[in-house]
Amino acid sequence: MHSKDQISHDAYQQTADWLLSQTKLRPQVAIICGSGLGMLADALKCQEVFPYSDIPGFPQSTVHGHAGRLVFGELKGKTCVCMQGRFHMYEGHSLCKTTFPVRVFKLLGVETVIVTNAAGSLADSFHAGDIMIIKDHVNFPGLSGLSPLSGANDDKFGPRFPPMSSVYDRELRRLVLDIAKQMGVAHFLHEGVYAMVGGPNFETVAEARLLHRLGVDAVGMSTAPEVLVASHCGLRVFGLSLITNKVVKSYDDSQSVKHDSVLEVAALRSHTLLQLISELVSRMDENNNTHT
């Protein structure tokens, strides 16, 4: 990432102003839908839909399972905006572009960002169809110097050196654990560490073993840059990973993961994910004064 890839504050503001001029809805919550999880946006009431191609400055999503629409509407009495499809570094976007919507959300008045993704399991106790509350992440592109915050800092959004030690809101994580118990689904809900790798290939056995030794529970190709920018903007963050496959950690294992199977697992768990996130949004006011 070089400074020439940076996007001006005016560019974010122009996109936000265009959206504000097109809808009277003022979202409090933004939901970023991972692969196959676009049904979260379909659940919104009183929808107003904007294809990414119509929104000034928005990148285009090219991955199967990402519809490429920004959906405004109401969920459990709260106004939300959903990204039905996100942007990835492996599509050729700069990290400034992959995270572009997050800063726009900030300018729209969003206070909380919920990120979801489909991820492969490295933890031996996790299985396909399980759901992982993200308690922390390892951002491998960030560790190698690829960051959406590279270049001159925009002080209008946040500080030069944002802390990341408690980026995933502790109170929201506790709330979802309580909701899962009440729903009777706590047996397949876990907390864990997510790692972002560059992709678009799935991991080699050696890479999977390395990640496992580092304490990573699930691995995917997104989320960390968006979370970094959301935290930099002062937004509250909650994250969920849907475990869609076991990552191969043995040379004797003949299994391999395919993107279509990822989408199939996402479809099977869609109702449970929708219930969890709907209840979280409904009860979020209980945590309005907490940002930990």
Q: Give the whole-angstrom CA distance, residue 222 versus residue 173.
A: 20
Strands 78-84, 29-32: parallel, antiparallel or unpaired by DSSP? parallel
Is 118 part of the annotated catalytic residue set? yes
Residue of 85, 39, 93, 41 lying closest to 61 (CA atoms): 85
Catalytic residue among 61, 222, 241, 270: 222
Q: What residue has token string 């979260």?
A: 40
Catalytic position from the list 66, 137, 190, 232? 66
Catalytic-labelled residue, pool 83, 118, 123, 230 = 118
Active-site residue, from 35, 61, 121, 241: 35
User: For this structure, is 41 an active site residue?
Assistant: no
Is 194 a residue of the active site? Answer: no
Please say if 64 is a catalytic residue.
no
Would you call 190 a catalytic residue per the annotation?
no
Active site residue 53: no
Residue 232 annotated as catalytic:
no
Question: Which residue among the candidates 245, 266, 279, 284 is catalytic per the annotation?
Answer: 245
Instruction: Please indicate whether residue 180 is annotated as part of the active site.
Output: no
* Distance between first and last Cα of the chain: 29
Point out the catalytic residue in the list 16, 30, 61, 88: 88
Residue tagged active-site, from 43, 123, 221, 284: 221
Catalytic pick from 259, 278, 282, 291? 259
35 is catalytic: yes
66 is catalytic: yes
Q: Catalytic amino acids?
A: 35, 66, 88, 90-91, 118, 221-222, 245, 259
